[in-house]
Amino acid sequence: MVIESSSIPSLALIIMDTSVKSNIATFISHMHICNKPISKSLHHMVHITSTEAELFAIRCSINQAMNHNDTLKIIVVTDSIHAAKKIFNPSSHPYQVHFATILNELRIFFLHHQDNSIEFWECPSHCN
C-alpha cells in the first residue's frame, strides 16, 4: 500500500491502531506522504473507552494530514471501522463531541479544495 501511494504526492496514508488495557488506551499512527519521512504519533489516555480512543485517533490523524496543504486525499487504515462509521451517523450517541469535532475538521478539509476526499479502509488486527 505504501509503495503504491508513494508516487501520489497529494495522498496522505495513515495506518493506525488503538488498544485499551487496564483503563489505559494507547494509540499509535504512522503517516506516509510522498517524499516526506514517515511520521509516527503515540498517545496514551486513561479512563476512556475503546471507541472514544479510536475516534480520538481518527481526529488526530485527520488533523495531522490536514497540516500538509498539498494533501487532497486521506486514507485512514484502521482495525476499528465501526468507530469510523460513527462519525457519519447523525443520530444521537454518546460520542457526539468527537463526532462534531471530526466533522468540523473534515468540513474545513473539503472546503479547501473541491477534489479533496477521505477513505477509511479496514484492516483487522490479525493483519497488522
Asked if residue 7 has pLDDT above 70, the reply is no
Which three cell numbers, joined as nine digits, stand for 28? 499509535
Read off the pLDDT band of 4 (50, 70, 90): low
Higher pLDDT, 98 or 58: 58
Return mean pLDDT, the chain. 80
Angle in degrees, CA 45, 50, 52, rounded to 5: 70
CATH, domain range 2-127: 3.30.420.10
What's the rounded Cα separation, in Å, for the pair 95 and 82?
A: 13
What integer pLDDT is reported at residue 128 of this predicted model? 47
- Closest-CA residue to 117 (of 127, 125, 106, 128): 106
Q: What length does the chain have? A: 128
